[in-house]
Structure 1
Amino acid sequence: MEQIPSGVQPAPLSDKPWLHRYPADVPADIDADCFASLMEMFEQSVAAYADKPAYSNFGKIISYGELDRLSRDFAAYLQQGLGLAPGERIALMMPNLLQYPVCLFGALRAGLVVVNVNPLYTARELEHQLRDSGARAIVIVENFAHTLDKAIKQTAVEQVILTRMGDHLGLVKGSVLNFVVKHIKKMVPRHRLPAYVGYKEAMAKGRDMDYRRPELSGDALAFLQYTGGTTGLSKGAMLSHRNMLANVEQCLGVYGPVLAPGAERVVTALPLYHVFALTVNGLLFLRLGAQNLLITNPRDIPGFVKALKGFDSTCLTGVNTLFNALVNNPDFQGHDFGSLKLTIGGGMSVQRAVAEQWQAITGSKLLEGYGLTECSPLVTVCPYDMDGYNGSIGLPVCSTEVRLVDDNGEVISLSHTPGEMEVKGPQVMGGYWGQNSADDGSFHDGWLRTGDIATMDEQGFLKIVDRKKDMILVSGFNVFPNEVEEVAMLHRSVLEAAAVGVPHKETGEMVKLVVVKKPGGELDEKALIRHCRQHLTAYKVPKVIEFRDELPKTNVGKILRRELREQAA
């Protein structure tokens, strides 16, 4: 592990020091069994908030009462029309559309296990996930049916429900959008799926079918949530109803003091098939009876900003790249953010320059959180009473234990000493689908191994030093990419940056920095290296800088360092 930063005197860590730093109205523990299942939580919310708006997309709003009826119809069709039994898997492959919450909660109400699928997967990636999960059915937007066409024969999928972008927007608006998407924008490649049923047809049939409420326990599997696949073969984290409910209650414990039931308006730009948005936007804010604005294409920043201006948002979640794009958009800078009271950043490290710009423009603190798919996902959050960015990922959430261990697996007892973070809590998965958790190395003495290197201070604030696998080794010294990227982002002409290690005959590895300039920014390699030398010790300074128009990213905005390493090699 790297040496303790100079000038910092490590002190012994007390037991759960974060509990003493919690705001007074944040509980130490939550009740993970306050609902028997996600189905029960859903039923309580739609009854309590029946007349309130639940989801809006492309100008169309559905209420909680409508969500109740529509999801019941879909659940009935899954049970009676497709003959799917509780515990069987159904895949959902779509961006943020009104169909998603209808299908999600319909599947959960039918007792099925939801397999969320990234719509931008290649046929190879899709085939792997469908084969591995054993999904018998899939709901897919027609834009991506050509991918399924190439993969379906090698999977167990027997039933395909095909939906179109405008299927919930009404006859006129929906027909116009579907025509434009297919015939004007040419966004629906040809496919030859052997058989499928249209979404509207399925919903119509479901209305006339009986729905049978299953008996579900908290231990029942709710999701096979596949890891992002940026580190190799994607694996399905088994998340039970209790895992997800626990994380919703943990979110409520840490964010609840600033949220009002029935009064929140949350912006969902991250895709709901991603576990961060699924739990925080999809489940927490359903629990609170909030109105959820679904952004179908967050990469269209001008369109996103236009949608924001018509929605008086109180809460917004995102990743660093999204916040960075927004703060650099002139129209966004002129928006009125008087009602925005909670901004949550996750999925990747939030950078100081972005967080400070966000707070200066919106008046809302950008509270970074940390999580993993395997933890449903939330593990730590920055408390709501912080003044602003402090470079940490916050404190462990309620009913969660975090410890740091050294390379020998021994628990680190001194503050500010880097070690691998391990987690225990009711939100932690049971294991990976089809794998023996005792043999796959994901757990250590009953603690989930995160693979992230972190430090903890005397108050319990954790700071990610970096992913263990991304560490750069220069002449025996550890260089953490996050630190190099953070320094590069301090330069006024840098829009985005990613640091990777590349082979070097003398030092083993050297630091390479890949940079995207801000529009109109004047910057060359020598100037940026001079800038880095002002903030980094010599072995951490990039030796090679490459300028690009964009960085490779996952669909949720994570920068793919692995791809950059492979390209450099």
Structure 2
Amino acid sequence: MERRWLNSYPNEVSSHLDYGSKPLFAYLSEAAAQKPEKTALHFLGMELSYKELYEQSVQFANALASMGVSKGDRVAVMLPNCPQAVIAYYGTLFLGGIVVQTNPLYTERELKHQLSDSGAETIICLDLLFGRVSAAREVSSLKNVIVTSIKDYLPFPKNLLYPFVQKRQNPSVTVDITYGGDVHAFKQVLKKGGKTEPQTEIDIAKDLALLQYTGGTTGPAKGVMLTHRNLVVNAKQCGAWLYRTSDGKEVVLGALPFFHVYGMTVVMNFGIMTKAKLVILPRFDPEQVLKTIHKHKPTLFPGAPTMYIALLNHPDIKKYDLSSIQACISGSAPLPVEVQEKFQSVISGSLVEGYGLTEASPVTHANLIYGKQIRGSIGLPWPDTECAILSAETGEMAEPGEIGELAVKGPQVMQGYWNQPEETAAVLRDGWLLTGDMGYMDENGYFYIVDRKKDLIIAGGFNIYPREVEEVLYEHPAVKEAVVIGVPDPYRGETVKAYLVLKEGASCKEEDLNTFCRERLAAFKAPRLYEFRSELPKTMVGKILRRVLVEEEKEKQAAEEVKKA
């Protein structure tokens, strides 16, 4: 293979890195030993040092052991960004457990699938989510539920005011939890855990650290199996790309959710590996982010395009000083060039587009942060990452400029899908991961994506698979036929549109469908647009032609642009 991209590497980046032999949790142990008093986490005014983060993670590990959790067991973490999420993550790893990152936005239906599929017997969740978790227990193997609250790590007097603020923001949510038996309070769990680090033997190349659920390149949600080595590798690759950063001196803004593999790798794991100060936020609120940047002076701000768009559109952005930011890597969705240029004008460093997928831990490509940026490109493959464009016609490696399917190979690529050998075989071939994305490589080794995975919708950085949404729509008693596509959206990148044919004599309003979907799907998956039709375009054998609807939407968009002009 001709690795043209290596000729475009800066001198500071090696094509091959030394990844060592330590498991992921060892980097927290190392940080606590070398920088015990340094702030590891800043959370809404509360700070934890590396020593405290390490000790509480070890306590959590030992508490899990006392509940019967052992190496290889799955522990679900259903939390927003907060200290408990980091403690539970690393605590599970210290014990040799496998973290199952669980989106707090999941509905009961989605949660049931993930818990049942993963076989998780322990979950840690927010008190506001306890009702959902309790309802999901009937079809899962859960034995222990650990419950925490945002106020558990808020400083005085915020911890006292929090219940009143929460009640005002969520008046319909009632927190009614009876502790005891298999329902445990997080703070009490920590108190019972010993402070001696478990001596767990880890084979970093084989032992799983994480099950990260994704739709994959096709079909319903599957658990991506990532080892300690996969995750260590991708964090170290990130460090090599950010070669101007210094251990112990960076401040990383944690606005990306840690339950998403991108935030988990480039913020949490990379941050702890480099002994950075992580300023973490439980949710993305543009004004709060601006205030946080102004006050805490982060040097690194990994994010998604929707985040940068929201900040740029905030009416008071000029009131805040964002000049501390040296580097931003944008992931999860394509980054519009105009957004990149505008955001770079308000920071002192670079905003560059990267590319990855959950199956690769997740990053495989990025533009140069400190060098030449190529518009419209996803950049160069990261160190030790092999890439190929496979011809759609022959399956052989395509020539530069020729469009084909992007395939990647490297030490960050997953082991496969959890209990899904056929799905694994469909995307992993001789170590090569078939991404399902169509693109090309130019003469200088820069890669470009021209079309995303077939049918996949990316809205606000979240992957949405039409089949899952369509199945919910088909459950509605008035719906005869349904098909879902992604349509352009100026803020979310794409949004979900549903085309529906109702049953004869049936009637249904958009409001009814919206309520129905949001009861069964996370809010970001629910359609935002509905169109009712008498029939849908189909093949001769009755298969709905989704692509025809996509083309119709493109034509509508083009016509609208002509009118505006």
TM range (shorter): 0.7 to 0.9
C-alpha separation in 2, matches of 1:497 and 1:68 = 39
Where 1:162 maps in the other structure, the secondary structure is strand
C-alpha separation in 1, matches of 2:400 and 2:200 = 49
> Which AA in structure 1 matches 2:562?
I
Cross-structure match for 1:347 = 332
Cross-structure match for 1:265 = 251
Q: 1:336 aligns with which of 311, 317, 321?
A: 321
Q: Decide whether the 8 Å contact of 2:323 with 2:346 is kept in 1.
A: no
Distance change >3 Å, CA 247–CA 201, structure 1 → 2: same
Distance change >3 Å, CA 191–CA 120, structure 1 → 2: farther
Where 1:166 maps in the other structure, the secondary structure is helix
Where 1:72 maps in the other structure, the secondary structure is helix
C-alpha separation in 1, matches of 2:424 and 2:95 = 33
C-alpha separation in 2, matches of 1:73 and 1:424 = 37
Match status 1:382 vs 2:367: yes
Cross-structure match for 1:158 = 143
Match status 1:98 vs 2:83: yes
Distance change >3 Å, CA 514–CA 366, structure 1 → 2: farther
Cross-structure match for 1:529 = 562
> Which AA in structure 2 matches 1:401?
E
C-alpha separation in 2, matches of 1:423 and 1:499 = 28
C-alpha separation in 2, matches of 1:430 and 1:138 = 24
Map Cα deviations across residues 7-58 of structure 1 (whole Å, 9 max, x no partner): xxxxxxx7010111001010101123x1321122221122122111111111
Write the mapping of 1:514-525 to structure 2, written as runs, cut at 5 A. Answer: none
Map Cα deviations across residues 190-246 of structure 1 (whole Å, 9 max, x no partner): 567884110111111114x75532111112110001115896421000000011111
After TM superposition, give the deviation of residue 339 of structure 1 in Å.
2.0
Match status 1:441 vs 2:426: yes
Q: Decide whether the 8 Å contact of 2:45 with 2:155 is kept in 1.
A: no
C-alpha separation in 1, matches of 2:424 and 2:359 = 16
> Which AA in structure 2 matches 1:512?
E
C-alpha separation in 2, matches of 1:199 and 1:417 = 54
After TM superposition, give the deviation of residue 411 of structure 1 in Å.
2.3
Unaligned runs of 5+ in 2: 458-486, 500-535, 539-544
C-alpha separation in 2, matches of 1:165 and 1:406 = 50
Cross-structure match for 2:270 = 284
C-alpha separation in 2, matches of 1:439 and 1:377 = 17
C-alpha separation in 2, matches of 1:337 and 1:250 = 26
Cross-structure match for 2:288 = 303
Map Cα deviations across residues 436-462 of structure 1 (whole Å, 9 max, x no partner): 158640123431110111110011110
Write the mapping of 1:228-239 to structure 2, written as runs, cut at 5 A. Answer: 232-239=219-226
Map Cα deviations across residues 279-321 of structure 1 (whole Å, 9 max, x no partner): 11011111111111111120x2222222222111101011111
> Which AA in structure 2 matches 1:224?
L
Where 1:289 maps in the other structure, the secondary structure is coil
Unaligned runs of 5+ in 1: 1-13, 473-486, 516-523, 533-569
Q: 1:89 aligns with which of 74, 85, 109?
A: 74
Where 1:469 maps in the other structure, the secondary structure is coil
TM-score (norm 1): 0.80
C-alpha separation in 2, matches of 1:449 and 1:399 = 17
C-alpha separation in 2, matches of 1:229 and 1:413 = 24
Q: CA RMSD in A?
A: 2.9
Match status 1:167 vs 2:208: no
Match status 1:36 vs 2:22: yes
Where 2:234 maps in the other structure, the secondary structure is helix
Cross-structure match for 2:411 = 426
After TM superposition, give the deviation of residue 88 of structure 1 in Å.
0.5
Q: Decide whether the 8 Å contact of 1:365 with 1:387 is kept in 2.
A: no
Distance change >3 Å, CA 437–CA 230, structure 1 → 2: closer
Q: 1:362 aligns with which of 322, 326, 347?
A: 347
C-alpha separation in 2, matches of 1:317 and 1:116 = 19
> Which AA in structure 2 matches 1:204?
K
Cross-structure match for 2:301 = 316
Q: Decide whether the 8 Å contact of 2:391 with 2:398 is kept in 1.
A: no
Cross-structure match for 2:191 = 204
Where 2:198 maps in the other structure, the secondary structure is coil
Q: Decide whether the 8 Å contact of 2:123 with 2:145 is kept in 1.
A: yes
C-alpha separation in 2, matches of 1:273 and 1:173 = 25
TM-score (norm 2): 0.81
Write the mapping of 1:434-513 to structure 2, written as runs, cut at 5 A. Answer: 434-436=419-421, 440-470=425-455, 498=494, 508-509=548-549, 510-512=551-553
Map Cα deviations across residues 162-208 of structure 1 (whole Å, 9 max, x no partner): 0011102246432321343246643743567884110111111114x
C-alpha separation in 2, matches of 1:27 and 1:85 = 38
Map Cα deviations across residues 138-173 of structure 1 (whole Å, 9 max, x no partner): 000011111112111110110000001110224643
